[in-house]
Chains A and B, each alone.
Chain A
Amino acid sequence: MRILSTVRTFLAFVFRRPRVEREMEDELRLHLQRRADDLEQQGLSRAEAERQAQVEFGGYQRYKEECHEALGTRLFGELIVDVRYGLRQLRRSPGFTAVAVITLALGIGTNTAIFSVVNTVLLTPVHAPEPNRVVAFITTSRRGSSSSFKFPNASEIKFNLWREQTSVFQDVSGYRLDSLILTGDDQPQQARAIFVTADYFRLFGLPIAQGRTFTAEEEHPNGGSVVILSDAFWKRAFGADSQIVGKIISLSGSSYEVIGVMAGGVQTETLEPPDIWMPFPIDPNSNNQVHYFQAVGRLKPRVTIDMANAQLQRTTQEFRRKFPHALSTSRRETFIVQPMQDVLGKDVRSSLLILTGAVSFVLLIACANVANLLLVKGAGRRREIAIRIAVGASRGRIILQLLTESVLLSTAGGVFGLGLGVAGIHTLLALNPSHIPRIGPRGSNVTMDWRVLSLTLLVALITGLLFGLIPALHASRTDLNSGLKEGGAGTGSGFRQNKTRSLLVISEISLALLLLIGAGLLMRTLIALRSVNPGFDPRNVVTTRTPLDPPLAKVSGVDQIVHNVFRRLSVLPGVESAGFTRLLPLAGDFNSVPIIVVGRPLNGPSHGSARRMVVSASYFEVLKIPLIRGRLFVDADRLGAPGVAIINEAMARQFWPKGDPLDSQIFIGKGLPWLDEPARQIIGVVGDVHDNALGENPQPAVFVPAAQLSDARTAGIPVTWVIRTRAPSPSLNSAIQNELRQATGVPVPPLRSMEEVMAQSTARQDFNMLLMSIFGGSALLLAAIGVYGLMAYSVKQRTHEIGIRMALGAQKRDVFRMVIGQGLRLVLAGLAIGVAAALILTRLLSSFSHLLYGVRASDPATFVAVSLVLSGVAVLACYIPARRATKVDPMVALRYE
């Protein structure tokens, strides 16, 4: 109530102020006139009567003020006066205002930028009704501990058990992404497909614009060939055909009936929005153990995560009884659910936290700088403030007025910062999307919503108070006598003030050092990653991905497509060799399959798992993966010939630490229905390749020749072509693309160089490093400005002293050294504090996995290099003031007072 009435008074004050003012004036005037009339009647002259009326009334202005106070509008009145006065002050010194606003815009803008990403990735609720009931299924090793192993993928046997837990889950849905080829009268084109089980649409509340969703029958294996189009795909591929529902379309060689079109603008929590939705039939009696999709669920009303996890604990026991070998017992694996929102942002949470810390440091430095500017300015305003105190302003009133000025500055900084931040982050995300989840294509989901807006305003307000408080306290402490007498001259403006300013500059330097060390460590990480030998030669290799689909290629078998591709490419001048693989190194997820070594006891520990790679015979030659022992695949290794396999060194080390792998036969994926095949003879060992990430150690891998798989296992499945050229050339690329198009009969995505693929694999580290460098650079610049400002001011203040020194025989050299020395002392103090803080804080950096690679958090080289750079810049910032000090003319300086 109280607040409401204050707000009402304030609004009335703002909007009706002139009227209230006028009415008050009218009322008081009327009183004076009536009194004068009465006095006149008593016999006074008019002039005399009016004077007498004034006297009887008392202090007219004072009572008017009191009336305002009685109305509760005095505080607002003062505020408006302060704001007007502040604006006038700022306008009077445009240089100062510009520097302060730019500094603040930089500080606040970087915070807006990072927060807008944090907001989109971590804070925006899952796009679903009642989003906090949406959970993701995870297989984990131990509950609670953050460093524990977490596996987000689902297998059919796990999924079937999960969806039976209807006591805690309302919906459980599995989904997986794939890429299909749409063919028709037009050019064939790629379609991003998402296969979803029945509950998906209800779970995410996806609205259908036309037609319907899948029926229960269509969700069964062999239930029906139906498809739902996205609004965008319906417009793009079918020209928004209003008769589309019921039509038959051809996807990767099979016919599907279009049963619906999704509403426009739906948000899905996938990295890229899907073009088509298709049923994902999962056999309830399946014993497929491959982890090839993901599962989400919706908790029943009033069921908590803990309740669901308690239930899943029991489910895990049941699962162990049913499938004794499917879970690793050594890791004590168990099923859990986590809020979908936490899972979506988990990859980038640590980087975003670090970046948030970094930008708050930048803001602190900006604050310190502006505070310093204000201190200097405050020294020049001592006379003005002394006068105001002399005419009766209270100390609180002065502080309030100065704070109003600093909040005005920070608000202006905030407004510019908001624009700067939002525009800046969009530019950066467009340049480098860096696989950040949820930000949309080129960062389009990162928008300025109420949260970003209010945080920016709040930051601006706090910033204004933060940097304004110390200078305001200082200024209000002005001693009346000296303030008026000195007339604002530079002498003796306070030892205390200089100490404050020095402390501010020292803290700026230490904060800048922290940021620069962070940037330095990330830079070293990137350099270390870039210099990792990937295990293959990426130069002059281009890649692209197409399915091998005989009907689309209008041939009878997969081997014919492959043959045609190789034949067509071999005639292109400039193509050296060509091959293909199902999974390209550094470009995606790898799944491990169980490996059993023939002849070893079945329940012994000597088996394990390895990544299974299906490749063409020429794959190793194209990527120049070295053969260590044995032989590579040859054309004779085809269907019908004895099964062969090649392993990598990591696998040889793990499975045959002493013996010879070339004597052995192995079962690959034994027990997996889709992989059931006879044992294969190991014929060769090749060098290790960093498949997963440059920063991760190569895992055991086994290579299988594609030619030894039947068409039933290969037809329609996409492969990635790898083509080595003699020299990179764009025209050759389009020729290659064209030949592939002719041979495979499907659209061919643009070619990428293998070097691009490698660079892409470190995109996120790139992004972190780029941002950290921008922040570090800003910090360095701001700190340099801070040092310069302090030294320049100090030299000006000490002109008199320097004059005396020179008169007494000090050389220019000595003066120069004295000034530089003074600056250097500050810098060294800042460095010492910064290094100490960095040793603590960088440990945090290394505690987040994947942030640092190939460099220790306390890397001495980084610390030394950064300290040198910072001191160098700081000394440079002292140089101009020092030079100015040497130019002091003793005669002028002594007369100066």
Chain B
Amino acid sequence: MLGNGIRAHADVLPGTLDLLILKAVSLGPLHGYGVLLRIGQISKGALAIEQGVLYPALFRLVRQGLLKASWGASENNRRAKFYQLTAAGRRRLHKETEGWNRLVAAIGTVLGTQPEEI
């Protein structure tokens, strides 16, 4: 599922990794590797990140109070650290998503502009 997507595609835009993590976790508690899988899954392998980058980002989000971490058992019964969205995280995700959509819309409009429209 993650397939070759990891190396093959464009880098994640700077600053958007946090947003992707929040979104992935918002769909249900995940451990680190799970976050990576889910991002790969929902982007259909279109977004690639170097895997190690994920962890500093997760630690940062926990420190900012957007994620909550707790230890539990993984699918194959290994001890794993699960991340979960906090209320603040949910608000942030909402806000950032709106911001992102506005930005994309704006840039889309700009890029879609035809010469005769000016």
Contacts and interface: CB of A to CB of B under 8 A. Distances in A.
A23 B52 CA distance: 16
Contact of B59 (A34, A57, A70): A70
B31 interface: yes
Given A30-B33, A72-B63, A66 B2 contact: no
Interface stretch (B9-17, B78-86, B91-99, B104-112): B78-86
Interface string B42-66: 0000000011110111011001000
A365 B48 CA distance: 62
Interface in A1-47: 23, 26-28, 30-31, 33-35, 38
Among B36, B50, B59, which residue has the most Cβ atoms of chain A within 10 A? Answer: B59
18 contacts: A26-B81, A27-B31, A30-B79, A31-B32, A31-B51, A31-B55, A34-B33, A56-B6, A58-B50, A58-B51, A58-B53, A63-B55, A66-B55, A67-B59, A69-B56, A70-B57, A70-B60, A70-B63
B51 A62 contact: no
**Interface size of B as a range:** 20 to 34
A894 interface: no
B63 A71 contact: yes
Given A56-B6, A70-B63, A31 B33 contact: yes
Among A26, A60, A66, A70, which residue has the most Cβ atoms of chain B within 10 A? Answer: A70
Given A27-B80, A56-B51, A72-B63, 11 more contacts: A26-B79, A27-B31, A28-B52, A28-B55, A30-B78, A31-B51, A58-B50, A58-B52, A60-B52, A63-B52, A70-B57
Contacts of B51: 31, 35, 56-58
A811 to B, nearest CB: 70
Nearest to B80: A30
Contact of A30 (B7, B32, B60, B63): B32
Given A58-B50, A58-B52, A58-B53, A38 B2 contact: yes
Among B36, B52, B71, B79, which residue has the most Cβ atoms of chain A within 10 A? Answer: B52
B105 to A, nearest CB: 32
Contacts of A62: 52
A58 B36 CA distance: 14
A840 to B, nearest CB: 56
Contacts of B60: 70
A637 to B, nearest CB: 97
Contacts of B56: 63, 66-67, 69-70
A27 B55 contact: yes
A59 interface: yes
Majority SS at the chain B contact face: helix
A62 B32 CA distance: 17
B29 to A, nearest CB: 15
B59 A23 contact: no
A62 to B, nearest CB: 7
A27 B52 contact: no
A63 B63 contact: no
Majority SS at the chain A contact face: helix
A812 B86 CA distance: 83
A38 B50 CA distance: 17
A58 B32 CA distance: 15
Contacts of A67: 55-56, 59
Nearest to A60: B52
B81 A23 contact: yes
Contacts of B50: 56-58
Contact of B31 (A30, A38, A72): A30
A67 B81 CA distance: 15
Contacts of A58: 50-53
Contacts of B78: 30, 33
Contacts of A35: 33, 51
Contact of A63 (B7, B36, B53, B79): B53
A63 B60 CA distance: 12
Contacts of A72: 63
A439 B3 CA distance: 82
B1 to A, nearest CB: 9
Interface in A547-568: none
Nearest to B50: A58
B8 to A, nearest CB: 12
Contacts of A63: 52-53, 55-56
A850 B33 CA distance: 82
Contacts of B79: 26, 30
A67 B31 CA distance: 16
B81 to A, nearest CB: 5
B20 to A, nearest CB: 17
Contacts of A66: 55-56
Nearest to A65: B56
Contacts of B80: 27, 30
A792 B7 CA distance: 64
A121 to B, nearest CB: 50
Contacts of A34: 33
A244 to B, nearest CB: 68
A736 B63 CA distance: 85
A170 to B, nearest CB: 54
Among B6, B33, B36, B57, which residue has the most Cβ atoms of chain A within 10 A? Answer: B33
Contacts of A33: 78
A33 B2 CA distance: 15
B32 to A, nearest CB: 5
Contacts of B57: 70
Among B50, B51, B53, which residue has the most Cβ atoms of chain A within 10 A? Answer: B51
A35 B56 CA distance: 18
Nearest to B60: A70
Contacts of A56: 6-7, 50-51
A62 B52 CA distance: 9
Nearest to B74: A30
B81 A57 contact: no
A30 B51 CA distance: 13
A33 B74 CA distance: 13
Nearest to B35: A31
B33 to A, nearest CB: 4
A493 B59 CA distance: 47
A23 B36 CA distance: 19
Nearest to A26: B79
Interface in A70-114: 70-72
Contacts of A23: 71, 81
A530 B61 CA distance: 78
Among A23, A31, A60, which residue has the most Cβ atoms of chain B within 10 A? Answer: A31
Contacts of A60: 52
Contacts of B74: 30
